[in-house]
Structure 1
Amino acid sequence: MRILVTGGAGFIGGHLAEGFASDGHDVVALDNFEPFYDTGIKEHNVEAAREAAAEGDGSYELVEGDVRDEEVVGEQVADADVIFHQAAQAGVRTSVEEPQKVNDINVSGTLNVLEAARSSDTERVVVASSSSVYGKPEYLPYDEDHPNTPVSPYGASKVAQEQYARVYNEVYGLPTVSLRYFTVYGPRMRPNMAISNFVSRCMNGEPPVIYGDGTQTRDFTFVGDVVEANRTLLDTDAADGEAMNVGSTDNIEIRVLAEEIRDQLAPDLELEFGERNDADAEHTHADISKANELIGYEPTTTIREGVKQFTDWYRANREWYEPLVRNS
């Protein structure tokens, strides 16, 4: 297949591009190298995908462009069999500071992709959504029937993305699927995430800093499980028109996560606490039964296993990755 991955030099997009190229597909990664975090990570994502293509029967092409550019999007979508739309302005806190930018990229950019796809022979558009669509929980775990009451412009933009994808399926017959990711982590992840910061501080003999009292819970989903969920959608139409949770094997308190990392790396350190950001969700916990029923999704990596894999990768790549974490 010829696969287009928008945001293909980003964290999840980079892993998707690498996985698809390794599987023998022809992959085009579209990315504008938005400096939300140091683009050095994106360069490593690109290199990993190129190496995967070189080692297998697939191909890989990087196109530098922006999903807000209708012409660029149209050119790349026209040749794609399946589109994995990962491009977005990430960051809940960033969205509070720049809501218009988030809307332009996440909503208008998605419309460009959908509009181009309905005018082409695209077989499916898979849209990257987020647990941020839910907002404050009325009950846990979140299932897909839970009200969407986001507490940030980022979450609101993801609701809009999903609704446009649903409408394009309903009105135009374009096969679309929205995947609601729950806090994805793993090698080459954004340097400003809790796990990368906890690991970095512990490796440098500094206490991990928890924002809030640490009782917040997260469904940390290993990136390999996310890749598998997306890979399944190359071969099935069972989820067309749907939005589904993509979560982990279980959720964990932030404090317990910090203790787990501390105990692995520097057990003598004490935990430190800072002021919590109001835009951060208190709890996330995914009910993944819908994804399991429709596409057979079964996450296999526990948080302990995933942290161990990330820590091993961090050690091997510490020279270039740690400065990014320290400066984030």
Structure 2
Amino acid sequence: MKIVVTGAAGFIGSHLCEKLLEREEHEVIGIDALLRDELKVIGRRNLEAILDHPRFAFQEENLLNMDWDDVLAGVDAVYHLAGIPGVRNSWGADFDHYVTNNINVTQQLLEACKGKPLKKFVYISTSSVYGEVTGKVSEDAMPSPLSPYGVSKLTGEHLCRVYWRNEGVPVVILRYFTVYGPRQRSDMAFHRFIHQFLTNQPITLYGDGTQSRDFTYVGDCAEATAAVAEADGVIGETINIGGKERASINDIIEMLEWMTGKPAQVIHAGGLVGEPLHTWADISKAERLLGYSPKIGLAEGLRREVVCAKKHLQSS
């Protein structure tokens, strides 16, 4: 199967490319514009394990400038992970970047896929589309995003459904719940906390720390995402991808104190803006349609992220 992955050099995209290449019948084309400053530095490092792989080809290119007819020739599946992430930066004038990279790019890619003999178009969305929901949330919950970022990703979902219903693009939508692990983005809480612990800096905490999340280890997330390529009966479906366990942010800080052997000096950096107090994924559909069963518990996943962070600190 010939597969295109957009956002291939990113945190989750790089893990997905590795997972797809474990199957000998897969050939992967990874595309990434390296738009964010940190990706210009670490994007190729994220891909270092596969850059020379005989069944992997990497293209550094802005998706708005792609010759999609050429790229999509003979392609069986597209995984669309590219976009601008993050809730806090999506307000004000910066929303223009979210419109361009999360909405316009998605529409152009769907337009390019129209009429192509694709088997799957997998759009990566987020639990941010749900907003504040009490208890475990299933895919049929009414979306109510709390941030412009969530609005941009939900708009991408709507575009996907329009192109599926009207043009037959074989869309599958995955909603990720707080993915963490090695290569995590520097703006994400675990990455910030670990770096601050390891460099003896105060921990910057948004909110009071009682907010809880359904944390999804990146390896589990990549495995579930890769499974869509071969799955039957998933076209037109929206599927939650959540983790093995939930915890509060205060719980995470305590675990990192134990793992690093250092006490946390917490500085409160402000309240939660555009983020729910709690998330909790109903993953029964993923279990049924994808055979998904998250394997990595929070303590082990955090340990792996700490090991990765120490390695990169020592080499920098």
Taking the aligned partners of 2:184 and 2:51, their CA distance within structure 1 comes to: 18
Find the counterpart in structure 2 of residue 302 from structure 1. 297
Question: CA 1:166–1:271 in structure 2 vs 1: closer, same or farther (change >3 Å)?
Answer: same
1:201 maps to which of 196, 201, 208: 196
Q: Which amino acid aligns with 2:8?
A: G
Q: Which amino acid aligns with 1:2?
A: K
Find the counterpart in structure 2 of residue 40 from structure 1. 41
Question: CA 1:45–1:117 in structure 2 vs 1: closer, same or farther (change >3 Å)?
Answer: same
1:119 maps to which of 115, 120, 137: 115
TM-score by length of 2: 0.93
Taking the aligned partners of 1:158 and 1:252, their CA distance within structure 2 comes to: 25
Taking the aligned partners of 1:93 and 1:205, their CA distance within structure 2 comes to: 25
2:106 maps to which of 82, 106, 110: 110
Contact 1:133 1:150 in 2 (8 A): yes
Find the counterpart in structure 1 of residue 29 from structure 2. 28
Unaligned runs of 5+ in 1: 322-328
What are the within-5 Å matches in structure 2 for residues 56-75 of structure 1? 58-69=54-65, 71-75=66-70
Contact 1:210 1:255 in 2 (8 A): no
Could you say what secondary structure the match of 1:319 adopts?
helix
Taking the aligned partners of 1:153 and 1:206, their CA distance within structure 2 comes to: 31
Find the counterpart in structure 1 of residue 13 from structure 2. 13
1:99 aligns with 2:100: no
Equivalences, count: 314
1:319 aligns with 2:314: yes
Could you say what secondary structure the match of 1:231 adopts?
helix
Contact 2:147 2:274 in 1 (8 A): yes
Find the counterpart in structure 2 of residue 149 from structure 1. 144
2:80 maps to which of 80, 85, 93: 85
Q: Which amino acid aligns with 1:90?
A: P
Could you say what secondary structure the match of 1:169 adopts?
helix
Taking the aligned partners of 1:108 and 1:237, their CA distance within structure 2 comes to: 29
Runs of at least 4 residues off by over 3 Å: 267-272
Question: CA 1:92–1:205 in structure 2 vs 1: closer, same or farther (change >3 Å)?
Answer: same
Question: CA 1:101–1:205 in structure 2 vs 1: closer, same or farther (change >3 Å)?
Answer: closer
Question: CA 1:230–1:148 in structure 2 vs 1: closer, same or farther (change >3 Å)?
Answer: same
Q: Which amino acid aligns with 1:31?
A: D
Offset at 1:267? 4.2
Offset at 1:153? 1.3
Contact 1:66 1:72 in 2 (8 A): no
Taking the aligned partners of 1:154 and 1:204, their CA distance within structure 2 comes to: 30
Taking the aligned partners of 1:230 and 1:210, their CA distance within structure 2 comes to: 31
1:270-327 per-residue CA deviation (whole Å, 9 max, x = no partner) reads: 4333312412332211111111122111111111110011111222222356xxxxxx
Question: CA 1:224–1:199 in structure 2 vs 1: closer, same or farther (change >3 Å)?
Answer: same
1:128 aligns with 2:138: no
Identity %: 34
Taking the aligned partners of 1:167 and 1:150, their CA distance within structure 2 comes to: 20
Could you say what secondary structure the match of 2:64 adopts?
coil
Could you say what secondary structure the match of 1:8 adopts?
coil
Taking the aligned partners of 1:232 and 1:311, their CA distance within structure 2 comes to: 27
Find the counterpart in structure 2 of residue 259 from structure 1. 254
Question: CA 1:174–1:260 in structure 2 vs 1: closer, same or farther (change >3 Å)?
Answer: same
Could you say what secondary structure the match of 1:199 adopts?
helix
Taking the aligned partners of 1:178 and 1:264, their CA distance within structure 2 comes to: 36
**Superposed CA RMSD:** 1.7
Taking the aligned partners of 2:87 and 2:264, their CA distance within structure 1 comes to: 29
What are the within-5 Å matches in structure 2 for residues 167-178 of structure 1? 167-178=162-173
Moved more, 293-302 or 164-173: 164-173
Could you say what secondary structure the match of 1:140 adopts?
coil
Contact 2:115 2:167 in 1 (8 A): no
Contact 2:9 2:46 in 1 (8 A): yes
Find the counterpart in structure 2 of residue 285 from structure 1. 280
Moved more, 234-243 or 17-26: 17-26
1:164 aligns with 2:149: no
Could you say what secondary structure the match of 2:229 adopts?
coil
Taking the aligned partners of 1:149 and 1:265, their CA distance within structure 2 comes to: 38
Could you say what secondary structure the match of 1:317 adopts?
helix
Contact 1:78 1:117 in 2 (8 A): no
Taking the aligned partners of 2:289 and 2:162, their CA distance within structure 1 comes to: 20
TM-score by length of 1: 0.90
